[in-house]
Structure 1
Amino acid sequence: MGAPKPIENEKPPNQEESTSSLGDDEAFNADIILEHLGKFGWFQLKYLLCIGYGLLFPTSCILIYVFVGATPYHRCFVDGCDDPVDPVYKADWLNESNALSSLLSSPRNKGWQCNFTDFGNIPNASKPECAYSNYTANVKCHQWVFDKSVFTSTIVTDYLLVCDESWKVTFGSFITMLGVLLGAFFLGPLPDLIGRRTSVVVLGTWIASFGIGSCFAPNFDAFAAIRFLTGMGGVSVMQALIIWGLEAQRPAMRIKFICLIYCFQSVGNLISGCLAYLIRDWVTLQLCIFVPMGTMVVTYFILPESTRWLTVKKRYPEAKVIYENAAKLNKKEIPPHLLVIPSEIPEKSVEAGEAEGAPAAAASHDSNPIGSALKVLKTRCLLVRLLILCGTWLAQFLCYYGLSYAASNLSADVHFNYILVILVEIPAYVTGMFAMDYFGRRPILNFTLIVGGSFCLVAGLISKEFNTVIIVFSLMGKFCTSMLTVANNAFTFELFPTVSRGITIALCSTSGKVGAIIAPYIAAMGIVNRSLPYVIFGAISLAIGVLTLWLPESKGRGTPATVQEAIDLEKY
């Protein structure tokens, strides 16, 4: 592959057969060496637990905005009636009239939220005595009383994001997703530039620091700015962790590994939902999520650097030590000829990755992330492959967020809605794991896009009277979208060369984040026509699903280390 071939006279003759059965005997061929380390041992278990732990909360850091930015019931503060120190939403003075109490209980009621309601316009209601001298109907209010039965505090209650300031709640969500978008593009290549291990430490510290900092933001503008930076780090650390973990797995275990680490992510989302149910204060909730993110730095001392990355950087001695330690940990043996360091590369300069005697097998662009990425863009088959996968990521996020709008109405309990939608993910990941191992990567990618798109269309075309049916199709669509998430990550990982893998995944992920940003605006078309957003989501998924037929199959193939090996996948 991209690594140099061993010197023939150093290759032990008695090990010719052991490696020939694997189809390749190049030195530092990661796929071959990982086969010798066994299916699953302590080395792989370390990666699973550490990467899984790291993936518990990055997504939760973004999703908890559902609770952090929730808008509780609220009404104007009535001077002379409400307690100035500890006002109560349904205060005793309101009990004088049942009509007033029922008015406040209606989620569709806008009276008393921004203006003092004229009591004469409320059937069977009379003005309380305490309000006679301190109440002017139809005048804007500047103090509010919030219902604390569901949330004791959110950014809405602390920063008073109601009435004329209510648009800032949606903007907070938008600015977070914009950070996710730009983070995938600008921070996504970091693992290729400084290494997988170092990038996880940097990005883990990034998201923990800014996340904790957002808890103490003095105003909404500061909160939004820090939230933007948090979004940038959240998606980037996920990408770095996934790449780092996958590169330590043999090809046959790759899909299972993706499934398991995404199950960790879903467990983290469930934990965040349960924490949100138990902790109704947004500052405490965020601290419970972001503080554990800071402990991600310990992975630097537990897991070694990616040997694939070290190999393409020509840092062979470091990669050799890691492989030897892994073999001891798993109680396996690696044939010595697979760990032969090319004699023409001086060991002192190997670590710098700039040895003059670099093997001819590796072209210059195969050791440089930017050069490799540019070569991918200049190669027609790889460019088409990249564009189609950008489309699959776009469709994935469009479907996910599009179906979430219907799923959000499953019940009146926001915590139950959140947990129910997350629970669908774990069985979807497990199903995707077995399906891709049995049917292959491309058929599952094609199936989930077309079927998921069909569910979108059905959810949009069914009459709104059949709300239960819409909910069922929404959850089935979420099931397909979760399967698509596993397929997208595995397929994108296996179709591009090692040195530019972080950049190509970052480009695809960026495309997906564009989908996440535009999905709410497409959904807003539902004000004119309820079916239109679902038809758009479904049509895009179906179209991209057809295009995936032009992708090569990667099941059972070695992970490409060089651009040429990625091109050679077109044969399958």
Structure 2
Amino acid sequence: MDFDKILEALGVFGRYQKKLYFLICISSGFVGFFAVISAILLAAPEHRCKIPGYDNDTYRIQSDSHLALINSYIPPSSDETHKYDQCHLYAFNFTAVTFDNSSHPINATKVQCSEWVYSDEVFKETFTSKHNLVCGDSSKPSLAKSFFFVGILIGAFFFGNLSDGIGRKKTFYLAVILMLASTLALAFSPNYAAFIVFMTMIGATTQGVFLVGFVIGMELVGPSRRTFAGIVSEYFFALGLVILSGIAYFIRHWKYIEIACAAPFSIILIYWWLLPESPRWLITKRRYEEAKVILRKAAKVNRVVLTDDVLKVKEKEVDVPKDGKIWQLFTSRVLLLRTLVIFINWCMVTMAYYGLSLNSGNLGGNYYLNFFLSGLVEFPAYTLVILLVDRVGRKWLHCISMIVGGVFCLSTIFTILYLDEKYQAVTTALAMLGKLGAAAAFAIIYMYSAELFPTVVRNAGMGASSCIARLGAIAAPFIADSGDKIGGKMGKAFPLMVFGIATIVAGVLALHLPETLNQDLPETLEDGILFGTPAYKARKKDELALASINNAYTPDEETVTTNGEIVSKL
């Protein structure tokens, strides 16, 4: 059965496909809740050492008589944002202590805090504040965030292969059940080790829900609408980020935020009765009758008629080129350099996208407003991609998005270091424009790299690119949280500086890639080597001319076949 031919008769994006695709998009929005939820669950509220002997100590008790007991003093500097040490107390004898002009003890010893009190201005409680993951344990939240992306890497392999084996629908449903279980379990994590395990599981199951669901939707859409449909799902993902900021704002307690975000997955359980198996997958498994039932139902909803000729099963064996291996991309200097540039762009754009999202709360100003804007800015990013990608081209739109986004990120250095706090809105705006560029580039890199890899190694190339991208995502939390360790204005500027430099470098390197818009895509490794050169265009032109001549020639009744080749009587 020729499925693309069936889609032409059925409608490339008819009512039936739209309804099912909308269901998939809803699940994508729910997955969006968890893309950066770790930044909220593991946020470190403002804190200080607990005053010894004060059982009812709260963050706001900071009277002058007890100030010296609370924190060791950081000498004044040009950076007025430096605060008292959050990790040490003074240990001294009251009868022998002397103080300097600022009422701070001179002959005292600093000791590590064992207890802390936290501000409840932004959060009532986070997992970090509950388990005191600060000071000596301050790297643990970053590690936990990274394990979410480790889970994504594991899930991409596991659920991707499983969906090819047992089917899209069963895999999707299994992922939904596991995600509901793991997200609820996270809310009741008794310790840090359990939190990491459940966070990794959530990362893995997001791939089963989002990635497999995306495949189900795209396999029902005709080629002419796949780019549009693919980007539409990103809108719903961004909507999930926006809704998350609202949930966190009104609840403000990590456990109940997690439960509120997990609960909607129970709605997706009814998809078992609403979502069919992918007809394309059924056809590849030669389960033709099951595919025909689904296709006839789709035709009824789309108000079209599928003739028996369209649904006819052709048993003729077709020679299909075998897929190549990933190492073949490194056998030629041209392919090697091109592949490395693609890998670098995947890594840097993923690092910047997730890093800027995780860093939103560290920009200063209203914590929840920053998260809201971080999700909202993705809408114009995807709109620009839809409007310009087939006009400007993949290469130039990707490069512009990366470079301009990086420049905006670097610009925040000047607003943070040299402008007053009253210009905080300018810093936030520049960071959000940087996120806009990263989001747009992220959407483009999928289609661009798929078009650059030759057909024989396309699956291998895309799989390797996805793995490299996860390395950038795993590094993103450590870079985003590095600002807290550096402290002061430079600490706030450092993550944005790293993300800015990374995207600019990757964007400049991408200028060396060929354009794929309106080009015959490479099929073989030889095509991949020549792709983008005048020789490739001339070769494709000759092949097209030869194909036209062959199609124009129709053998008569006296034509015979020898060894599978058409040979003229003459």
Give the structure-2-normalised TM-score. 0.75
- Within the candidate set 169, 182, 201, 2:173 is matched to 201
Q: 1:501 to 1:395 in 2, by over 3 A?
A: same
Unaligned runs of 5+ in 2: 74-79, 542-570
1:500 offset after TM fit, Å? 10
The residue matched to 2:394 in structure 1 has which SS? Answer: helix
- Within the candidate set 390, 399, 423, 2:376 is matched to 423
The residue matched to 1:276 in structure 2 has which SS? Answer: helix
- Within the candidate set 28, 32, 37, 1:64 is matched to 37
- Within the candidate set 427, 430, 445, 1:488 is matched to 445
Partner of 1:43: 16
Q: Show CA shifts across 1:28-71 (max 9, x none).
A: 33233223223543312222221111101223213111110111
Q: 8 Å contact 2:10–2:299 — kept in the other structure?
A: yes
Unaligned runs of 5+ in 1: 1-27, 128-135, 345-358, 366-371
The structure whose RCO (Cα within 8 Å, separation 6+) is larger is 1
Q: Map of 1:135-284 to 2, 5 A cutoff?
A: 138-284=110-256
Q: 1:110 to 1:57 in 2, by over 3 A?
A: farther
Q: 8 Å contact 2:87–2:112 — kept in the other structure?
A: no
AA matched with 2:55: D
Q: Show CA shifts across 1:370-403 (max 9, x none).
A: xx4x567658899878766544422321332465
AA matched with 2:346: W
Q: 1:399 to 1:541 in 2, by over 3 A?
A: farther
Q: 8 Å contact 2:351–2:473 — kept in the other structure?
A: yes
Q: 8 Å contact 1:189–1:502 — kept in the other structure?
A: no
Q: Show CA shifts across 1:283-327 (max 9, x none).
A: 110111122224333223212122222222222222222111100
- Within the candidate set 395, 400, 403, 1:453 is matched to 403
Partner of 2:63: 94
The residue matched to 1:108 in structure 2 has which SS? Answer: coil
AA matched with 2:89: N
1:399 aligned onto 2:335 = no
- The 2-side partners of 1:144 and 1:421 are apart by 31
AA matched with 1:94: S
Q: Map of 1:331-346 to 2, 5 A cutoff?
A: 331-342=303-314
The residue matched to 1:322 in structure 2 has which SS? Answer: helix
Q: 8 Å contact 1:181–1:232 — kept in the other structure?
A: yes
Q: 1:328 to 1:565 in 2, by over 3 A?
A: farther
- The 2-side partners of 1:138 and 1:102 are apart by 9
- The 1-side partners of 2:251 and 2:289 are apart by 50
The residue matched to 1:34 in structure 2 has which SS? Answer: helix
Q: 8 Å contact 1:457–1:538 — kept in the other structure?
A: yes
The residue matched to 1:218 in structure 2 has which SS? Answer: coil
AA matched with 1:115: L
Q: 8 Å contact 1:214–1:226 — kept in the other structure?
A: yes
- The 2-side partners of 1:565 and 1:237 are apart by 35
1:220 offset after TM fit, Å? 0.8
Q: 1:555 to 1:190 in 2, by over 3 A?
A: farther
Q: 1:303 to 1:488 in 2, by over 3 A?
A: farther
The residue matched to 2:117 in structure 1 has which SS? Answer: strand
1:158 offset after TM fit, Å? 1.5
Q: Map of 1:491-506 to 2, 5 A cutoff?
A: 491=448, 505-506=462-463
- The 2-side partners of 1:493 and 1:556 are apart by 13
AA matched with 2:183: G
1:512 aligned onto 2:469 = yes
- The 2-side partners of 1:500 and 1:321 are apart by 34
1:109 aligned onto 2:83 = yes
Partner of 1:30: 3
Q: 8 Å contact 2:352–2:438 — kept in the other structure?
A: yes
1:187 offset after TM fit, Å? 3.5
1:476 aligned onto 2:433 = yes
- The 2-side partners of 1:137 and 1:312 are apart by 73
Partner of 1:465: 418
1:88 offset after TM fit, Å? 2.3
**What is the aligned length?**
503
Q: 8 Å contact 2:39–2:358 — kept in the other structure?
A: no
1:546 aligned onto 2:520 = no
1:332 offset after TM fit, Å? 1.0
Q: 8 Å contact 1:172–1:224 — kept in the other structure?
A: yes
Partner of 1:354: none
- Within the candidate set 73, 83, 90, 2:46 is matched to 73
1:539 offset after TM fit, Å? 1.0
1:251 offset after TM fit, Å? 1.9
AA matched with 2:232: L
Q: 8 Å contact 1:495–1:554 — kept in the other structure?
A: no
- The 2-side partners of 1:70 and 1:235 are apart by 24
Bigger drift between 110-119 and 532-541 goes to 110-119
Give the structure-1-normalised TM-score. 0.75
Q: 8 Å contact 2:148–2:203 — kept in the other structure?
A: yes
- The 2-side partners of 1:75 and 1:470 are apart by 27
Q: 1:438 to 1:34 in 2, by over 3 A?
A: farther
1:501 offset after TM fit, Å? 8.2
Q: Map of 1:229-378 to 2, 5 A cutoff?
A: 229-342=201-314, 359-361=316-318, 363=320, 372=323, 374=324
Q: 1:122 to 1:507 in 2, by over 3 A?
A: farther
The residue matched to 1:62 in structure 2 has which SS? Answer: coil
The residue matched to 1:339 in structure 2 has which SS? Answer: coil
Q: Show CA shifts across 1:512-552 (max 9, x none).
A: 111222346677699799656633431123213432x16x4
Q: 1:107 to 1:313 in 2, by over 3 A?
A: farther
The residue matched to 2:310 in structure 1 has which SS? Answer: helix
Q: 8 Å contact 2:231–2:443 — kept in the other structure?
A: yes
The residue matched to 2:29 in structure 1 has which SS? Answer: coil
The residue matched to 2:271 in structure 1 has which SS? Answer: helix
1:491 offset after TM fit, Å? 4.8
AA matched with 1:59: G
1:238 offset after TM fit, Å? 1.7
